[in-house]
Amino acid sequence: MTKMTLGSYPHMLGFEQLERLLERTAKGSEGYPPFNIEQTSDYSYRITLAVAGFGEDDLSITVEDRQLVIRGRNSDDTEGRIFLHRGIAARQFQRSFVLADGVDVGEAVMENGLLHVDLTRSKPDMVVQTISIKKG
């Protein structure tokens, strides 16, 4: 059986990039750090990442090619410390979220070890376009 792609469907014109975005997003899906995505209104969302042990200076948030990228790089302050048990993860991470057209990143807030990133989606405009037919 052959794998169907979006380009295989004749009525799905211009969606090739969507398939590439889905493949790119699926590649980097690891479990750290854990996150929630909630819908806060009809046109807004909030992504919350559990980033205990990271400060604001250890985190960066960028939008690259319609992709929200959140990176964490924890500074190594363990020199001279002896751990009998080390269960708190302090490794670097990168989380990516693909943004649809019309979704904009708002503010980011750190609160109690959680990083909240607010997103807003513009209200859709109903567009009807009439195409005139020329006589040939």
CATH fold for domain 32-121: Immunoglobulin-like (2.60.40)
Question: What single string gives the DSSP state of each residue in 81-120?
Answer: ---S---S----EEEEEEPPTTEEEEEEEEETTEEEEEEE
pLDDT, the chain, mean: 85
Residues 32, 7: Cα–Cα separation, whole Å: 33
Q: Please give the single-letter amino acid code of residue 69.
A: V
Q: Is the pTM of this model over 0.85?
A: no
* Mean predicted confidence (pLDDT) in 37-41: 96
Domains of the chain by residue range:
32-121
Residues of the chain with pLDDT > 90, as a percent, come to: 48
* Mean predicted confidence (pLDDT) in 103-118: 96
Beta bridge pairs of residue 87: none
